[in-house]
């Protein structure tokens, strides 16, 4: 039978990359191409941890010795080339990496994208045992993106964000003049797929609760620069909140003013003006306060400079 290879017994010593994972989830990743039903079958009978039987809910510990029986698995297709890219580093220690993500780069592969930031980072750092996204940014959004270098940091950061103990702020340039210096926007958001299979979000009463605090940074006759503080982290939250209120983000190709976007492109703004400029939280492992910020991308800064320039 072509495309299959006979494996022998393998032994895996658990390091930081596997520590804390449920054994079934670890095996799904380790045995790519093997049906889940087969993984559960060998878990019930032939897998051993430190020579003992365990069940599927067992959480792996550092140094555990895992015995995996011989398995026939589909031979892996040749991996697609992923360029090694180190993005501008804003902060790094042994547990957390913060980068300044450029606009136009997806954070991970999928949905028609072969690879994203995380795959390129792993390619650039083959020695790294663990690299996982802490959160996501839309493809067109630039700015602070957090990556965990340890599982303990990942679970810690997820808890911090779930409990609302992080402060994430964005700069958004909107069309029109925002009325209030500071405004809380609370609207329920509903996710759906378009007939073309694209993810979209709309305001709907039965959606998920969402909350953004908008503060005016600067205004011009036709634009307002807002700082958006996220109190919840829903998909496309800032974009849908401003658009629903009649102030779409400049350059937004999903919820924006498409005719205005074409005009803006002629004047140098060729993408959505949304930038994750800062995040602050207590470090998940040390508890030390941490504040990370990303300078505004040069194309966005140039556009603001044009707005400030005196009309000839």
Strands 89-92 and 211-219 turn out to be unpaired
Spell out the residues 6+ positions from residue 292 whose beta carbon is closer than 8 angstroms to its own.
90, 91, 98, 144, 146, 278, 279, 280
8 A C-beta contact, residue 134 and residue 157 = yes
d(CA 160, CA 167): 10
Q: What is the largest CA-CA distance in the chain?
A: 80
Task: Provide DSSP, 243-257.
Answer: HHTT-PBTT-TTTS-
- Choosing from 64, 138, 252, 257, the catalytic residue is 138
What is the token pair recorded at 15? 């390091």
8 A C-beta contact, residue 189 and residue 177 = no
- Is 138 tagged catalytic? yes
Strand partners, 12: 66
Name the residue among 243, 169, 247 with its Cα closest to residue 212: 169
- Provide the annotated active-site residues: 138
């Amino acid at each position: 039978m072509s495309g299959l290879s006979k494996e022998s017994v393998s032994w895996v010593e658990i390091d930081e990359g596997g520590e804390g994972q449920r054994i079934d989830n670890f095996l799904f990743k380790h045995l790519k191409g093997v049906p889940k039903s087969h993984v559960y079958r060998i878990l019930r009978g032939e897998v051993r941890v430190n020579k003992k039987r365990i069940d599927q809910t067992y959480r792996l510990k550092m140094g555990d010795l895992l015995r995996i029986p011989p398995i026939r698995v589909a031979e892996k297709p040749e991996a697609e080339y992923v360029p090694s890219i180190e993005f501008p580093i804003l902060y790094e220690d042994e547990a957390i990496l913060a980068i300044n993500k450029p606009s136009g780069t997806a954070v991970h592969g999928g949905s028609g994208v072969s690879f994203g930031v995380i795959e390129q980072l792993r390619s650039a750092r083959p020695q790294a045992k663990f690299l996982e996204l802490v959160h996501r940014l839309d493809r067109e959004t630039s700015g602070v993106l957090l990556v965990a270098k340890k599982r303990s940091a990942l679970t810690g950061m997820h808890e911090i964000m779930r409990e609302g103990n992080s402060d994430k702020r964005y700069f958004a340039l909107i069309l029109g003049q925002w009325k209030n210096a500071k405004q809380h926007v609370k609207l329920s958001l509903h996710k759906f797929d378009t007939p073309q299979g694209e993810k979209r979000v709309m305001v709907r009463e039965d959606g998920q609760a969402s909350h953004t605090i908008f503060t005016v940074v600067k205004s011009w006759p036709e634009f307002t620069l807002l700082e958006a503080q996220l109190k919840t982290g829903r998909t496309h939250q800032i974009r849908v909140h401003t658009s629903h209120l009649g102030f779409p983000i400049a350059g937004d190709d999903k919820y924006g003013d498409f005719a205005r976007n074409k005009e803006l492109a002629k004047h140098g703004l060729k993408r959505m003006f949304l930038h994750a400029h800062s995040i602050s939280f207590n470090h998940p492992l040390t508890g030390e306060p941490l504040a990370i910020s990303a300078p505004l991308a040069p194309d966005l800064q140039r556009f603001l400079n044009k707005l400030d320039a005196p009309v000839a």
